[in-house]
Amino acid sequence: MTEKNRKKITENRKILMCGNEAVGEAAIVAGCKFYAGYPITPQNELTAYMSRRMPEEGRTFIQSESELAAINMVFGASAAGARAMTSSSSPGISLKQEGISYMAGAELPGVIINMMRAGPGLGNITPAQGDYFQATKGGGHGDYHIIVLAPASVQELFNLGIKAFDLADKYRTPVMVMGDGMLGQMMEPIEFQKTENRRQKTENKKNLSSDFYHQTFDKPWALTGCKGRKANVVKSLYLKEGALEDLNNRLQEKYKKISEEEVLFEEYNTEEADMVLVSYGTVSRICKSAAKKLISEEFKVGFLRPITLWPFPYKKINQLAKAGKKFFVVEMSSGQMLEDVILAVNGKSKVNFYGRMGGGIPEESVVFAKVKELLNAKNL
Amino acid sequence: MQKIYSKPKSLRNVKTHYCPGCGHGIIHRIICEVIDELDIREETIAIAPVGCSVIAYDYWDFDVSEAAHGRAPAVATGIKRVHPDKFVFTYQGDGDLASIGTAEIIHTANRGENISVIFVNNAVYGMTGGQMAPTTVEKQKTKTTPLGRDFKLHGFSFKITEMLSVLEPVVYLERCSVHNPVSINKTKRAIKKSFKIQLENKGFSLVEVVSPCPTYWKVTPVEAASWIENNMLKQYPLGVIKDVK
Ligand SMILES: Cc1ncc(C[n+]2csc(CCOP(=O)(O)OP(=O)(O)O)c2C)c(N)n1
Task: Report ipTM for this prediction.
Answer: 0.97
Phi-psi region of A376 (alpha: psi -120 to 50; beta: other; left: phi over 0): alpha
Q: What angle do CA A99, A102, A106 make, to 5 degrees?
A: 135
Q: What is the pLDDT of residue A194?
A: 47
What CATH code would you report for A3-203? Answer: 3.40.50.970
Q: What is the pLDDT of residue A2?
A: 80
Nearest to B121 by CA among B176, B188, B60: B176
* Contact by Cβ (8 Å): B124, B133: yes
> Cα(B137)–Cα(B98) distance, rounded to whole angstroms?
14
The whole-chain average pLDDT of chain B stands at 97
Residue, of A118 and A191, whose pLDDT is higher: A118
**Residue A44 burial (CB count, 10 A):** 18
Q: Rounded to 10 degrees, what is the CA torsion of B73, B75, B76, B81?
A: 130
Q: Strands A34-37 and B63-66, how do they pair? A: unpaired
What CATH code would you report for A265-376? Answer: 3.40.50.920
Which atom, in ligand 1's list, is nearest to the CA of B96?
15
pLDDT mean over A100-114: 98
B78 → closest Cβ in A75, A98, A226 = A75
Interface contact A80-B104, CB threshold 8 A:
no
A225 → closest Cβ in B42, B77, B107 = B42
pLDDT mean over B14-40: 98
Q: What is the pLDDT of residue A193?
A: 63
> Which amino acid, A51?
S
Q: B37 pLDDT exceeds 80?
A: yes
Nearest to B195 by CA among B166, B171, B177: B171
Nearest to A330 by CA among A298, A358, A363: A363
Phi-psi region of A36 (alpha: psi -120 to 50; beta: other; left: phi over 0): beta
Phi-psi region of A216 (alpha: psi -120 to 50; beta: other; left: phi over 0): beta
Interface contact A223-B55, CB threshold 8 A:
no
Q: A53 pLDDT exceeds 60?
A: yes
Residues of B in contact with A226 (CB under 8 A): 41-42, 44, 61-63
Q: A215 pLDDT exceeds 60?
A: yes
* Contact by Cβ (8 Å): A208, A192: yes
Q: What is the pLDDT of residue A379?
A: 55
Q: A65 pLDDT exceeds 80?
A: yes
Q: What is the pLDDT of residue A199?
A: 42
What class, spelled out in words, does domain B24-243 have in CATH? alpha beta
Q: What is the pLDDT of residue B110?
A: 98
The whole-chain average pLDDT of chain A stands at 93
Distances (CA, A) of A134 to A91, A131, B18: 11, 5, 39
**Residue A141 burial (CB count, 10 A):** 11
Residue B41 DSSP symbol: G
pLDDT tens per residue across span A4-40: 888 888 777 889 999 999 999 999 999 999 999 999 9
Q: What is the pLDDT of residue A9?
A: 80
Interface contact A76-B66, CB threshold 8 A:
no
Whole-number CA gyration radius for chain A: 21
Q: What is the pLDDT of residue A25?
A: 95
> Cα(A176)–Cα(A191) distance, rounded to whole angstroms?
22
pLDDT mean over A342-349: 98
Q: Which of A45-54, A204-213, A319-328 has the lowest mean pLDDT?
A: A204-213
> Cα(B15)–Cα(B58) distance, rounded to whole angstroms?
10
pTM of the model: 0.96
pLDDT mean over A357-368: 97
Residue ranges matching CATH 3.40.50.970 in chain A: 3-203
In whole angstroms, what separates CA A88 from the centre of its chain? 13
> Cα(A51)–Cα(A61) distance, rounded to whole angstroms?
6
Looking at beta carbons, which pairs linking A49-55 to residues 24 or more positions away fall under 8 Å?
A49/A20, A49/A21, A49/A24, A49/A25, A50/A24, A50/A87, A53/A1, A53/A24, A53/A25, A53/A28, A54/A28
Domains of chain B, by residue range, sit at 24-243
pLDDT mean over A228-233: 98
* Pocket perturbation via mutation, ligand 1, pick of B59, B66, B69, B158 by most ligand atoms within 8 A of CB: B69
> Cα(B78)–Cα(A379) distance, rounded to whole angstroms?
58
Residue ranges matching CATH 3.40.50.920 in chain A: 265-376
E strands present in B19-125: 44-48, 63-66, 87-93, 116-121, 124-125
pLDDT tens per residue across span A157-211: 999 999 999 999 999 999 999 999 999 999 999 988 644 444 444 444 443 333 4
Interface contact A76-B104, CB threshold 8 A:
no
**Residue B201 burial (CB count, 10 A):** 9
Residue B228 DSSP symbol: I
> Cα(A257)–Cα(A253) distance, rounded to whole angstroms?
6
pLDDT mean over B126-140: 98
Residue list, ligand 1 pocket, CB within 6 Å? B 50-53, 69, 93-96, 122, 124-128, 133
Which sign does the torsion angle of CA B148, B150, B155, B158 carry? Answer: positive
pLDDT tens per residue across span B156-200: 999 999 999 999 999 999 999 999 999 999 999 999 999 999 999
